[in-house]
Amino acid sequence: MVEDSMKGDFTTDEIKFIVDELGEIFERRTFEDSTPYEVLVRTILSQRTRDENTDRATEALFNVYPDMESVADAPVEEIARLVKPAGFYNVKAGRIKEVSNILLDEYDGVVPDSIDELVKLPGVGRKTANCVIVFGFQEDAIPVDVHVHRISNRLGLVNTKEPEDTEDVLREIVPRSYWLPINDLMVQFGQNICKPINPQHMECPFTDMCKFYRECDE
Ligand code: SF4
């Protein structure tokens, strides 16, 4: 149970309306064609960079080293060269190689489908683990990144300081059948409309229910 002070006063129907409306505006990306391992690597590469850089780095890596075994065997300098577009490439390359070796040695080459196991891997936090559950296994989870955290607080769905608390509150107030699309839709909403700086309120369908907008208007 989360503290009541961390929850807004949205009804379940209002929460469903928000997710449904986002689904009308944006096409949901599911990554259904990617394996859990590919999603895990992609999510590590996506840290602190833009989607297009993540895409370029992921494609470059898997074009040369298409699976866990080949990545684990690859020279780390070569992985770093391939994933350079994603930034922080030396750190990310080392992490990807280390994670690949651990998965082969300790998990028989199978990415675990549990958040508790995933977060034991080096460099894998709750957000990355939740992304693997949602996008790799298509199972219910709510990855909370900077966009989901910011938008949930702006709207007033949650009143939290830490992404982990946002995840706890969202898990409690959002109907489970709505968990899967939340991350991708809110990320696109955050990149295009509810931006960190200069949110485009006039393009937003939620002005009449948004706490941040109400407070700006006062
Ligand atoms: S009204 Fe503005 S701050 Fe509120 S959700 Fe929409 S864009 Fe974001």
Instruction: Give DSSP secondary structure letters for 148-214.
Output: HHHHHHHHTSB--SSHHHHHHHHHHHS-GGGHHHHHHHHHHHHHHTS-SSS--GGG-TTGGG-HHHH
Query: Using an 8 Å Cβ cutoff, are 201 and 2 in contact?
Result: no
Q: Is the CB of 158 under 6 A from ligand 1?
A: no
Please report the pLDDT score of residue 85 as a whole number: 98
Give me the pLDDT at residue 1, please.
79
- pLDDT at residue 59, as a whole number: 98
What pLDDT, on the 0 to 100 scale, is given for residue 144? 97
**Confidence (pLDDT) at 148:** 98
Domain boundaries, the chain: 4-28+142-217, 36-136
For ligand 1, atom 1, name the residue with the nearest CA.
207
Q: Residue with structure tokens 């559950």?
A: 133
36-136: CATH superfamily? Hypothetical protein; domain 2 (1.10.340.30)
What pLDDT does residue 147 have? 97
Write down the pTM of the prediction.
0.93
Q: Which two tokens stand for residue 37?
A: 């391992």
194 Cβ inside 6 Å of ligand 1: yes
49 lines ligand 1 (CB under 6 A): no
Looking at residue 118, its pLDDT comes to 98
Residue identified by tokens 């009541």 is 4
How much distance in Å is there from the Cα of 38 to the middle of ligand 1?
33
Under-70 pLDDT residues of the chain: 218
Our answer on whether the CB atom of 204 is closer than 6 Å to any ligand 1 atom is yes
Q: Check pocket membership of 154 for ligand 1, CB cut-off 6 A.
A: yes
End-to-end CA distance of the chain: 33
Q: Kindly calculate the radius of gyration of the chain based on its CA atoms and give it in whole angstroms.
A: 18
Q: What string of H, E and C letters represents the secondary structure of 19-88?
A: HHHHHHHCCCCCCCCCCHHHHHHHHHHCCCCCHHHHHHHHHHHHHHCCCHHHHHHCCHHHHHHHCHHHCC
Fold exhibited by the domain 4-28+142-217: Endonuclease Iii, domain 2 (1.10.1670)
| pLDDT in the model for residue 71 | 98
- Give, using CA atoms, the residue closest to atom 2 of ligand 1: 201
Q: Is the CB of 25 under 6 A from ligand 1?
A: no
